[in-house]
């Protein structure tokens, strides 16, 4: 009985690490996608790419700091709630939000 619980915990840990790495990668891609969406909206509103590019470094710093904070907070949350429903639900919401950004980007 003890071995099956340990094997299940190991599988859950491997799955959690894989999902965490997936969310990190998708989040970095999401930062790039948000930058490109910003360019698209700025040009569609009548601006040009050079004027829009002036604000991109500020946008990147803001998005990078926000994402870094999200990674730290969510990692601690997953560490404390490992194996519970709340942790898996946060993985689901995070992946859904990041994939939604990619879908919006490719539809535009």
The structure tokens 């997953």 sit at 78
Please tell me the predicted confidence (pLDDT) of residue 34.
Answer: 95
pLDDT per position as a tens digit, 7-34: 888 888 899 999 999 999 999 999 999 9
- Per-residue confidence (pLDDT) for residue 5, from 0 to 100: 64
pLDDT (0 to 100) of residue 77: 93
pLDDT at position 48 is 85
Tokens of 91: 């993985």
Unique residue bearing structure tokens 């071995």: 3
Rg from Cα positions in the chain: 18
Low-confidence ranges of the chain (pLDDT < 50): 1
Q: pLDDT at position 39, please?
A: 93
Alpha carbon distance 51, 45 (integer Å): 12
């Amino acid at each position: 009985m003890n071995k099956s619980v340990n094997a299940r915990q190991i599988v859950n840990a491997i799955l959690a690490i894989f999902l965490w790495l997936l969310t990190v990668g998708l989040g970095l891609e999401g930062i790039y996608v948000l930058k490109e969406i910003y360019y698209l909206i700025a040009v569609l509103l009548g601006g040009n790419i050079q004027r829009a590019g002036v604000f991109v470094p500020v946008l990147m710093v803001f998005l990078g700091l926000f994402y870094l904070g999200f990674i730290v907070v969510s990692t601690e949350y997953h560490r404390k709630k490992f194996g519970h429903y709340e942790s898996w639900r946060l993985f689901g919401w995070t992946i859904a939000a990041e994939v939604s950004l990619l879908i919006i980007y490719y539809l535009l």
